[in-house]
Amino acid sequence: MAGTSVGRNRKVGDKGGDGKAEESRPLQKVWPTMGYVLVFLGGGIGAMLRHGINMVTPRLLGSGFPWSTFLINISGSFVMGLVAGWFAFRGDAPQHLRLFFTTGILGGYTTFSAFSLDTALLYERGDVGLAAAYVAGSVVLSIAGLFAGLWIVRSLM
């Protein structure tokens, strides 16, 4: 894996701040198992957060529009921008931390599969305009959220 990028100006196998190559660190010896455990734990946290939003949002905003999924996709993309930006510009975040936050928590939190289902349901009930607005709004605002997160991290660095 030498030469694989893991952050700004760092490669797998480069020596970290402690002078040890990444492969020789203790966590790296159990890496395959630890990676799955961290993704599992993070995914559970993300799914619990998503469930909480799914329970509260319809009470606050109604159920005529898939507000929960809409807000989760946008906020998840925004947080992904913050996290990815932080990891990219800090470069010293260990791979297990990246896995826990991005694949784990955010993977369990964001809901593009639910987004697809909600779009199909809106379309099938005859709300074609609402389905189109939902798709356009979700995609555009999620990408905007990601760029906003990156911009915030860049402005702080």
pLDDT over 60 (residue 19): no
Per-residue pLDDT averaged across 50-69, rounded? Answer: 96
Residue 27 has pLDDT above 60, yes or no: no
What is the H or E stretch that residue 110 is in?
A: none
Tell which residue, 6, 102, 84, has the closest CA to residue 45: 102
Would the pTM of this model clear 0.95, i.e. be above it? Answer: no
For residues 85 and 153, what is the distance between their CA atoms, to the nearest angstrom? 6
Contact 18, 12 (CB under 8 A): no
* Nearest residue to 52 (alpha-carbon basis) of 97, 109, 112: 109
For residue range 100-117, what is the model confidence (pLDDT) as tens digits? 999 999 999 987 878 988
Burial status of residue 74 (CB atoms within 10 A of its CB: 0-12, 13-18, 19 or more):
buried
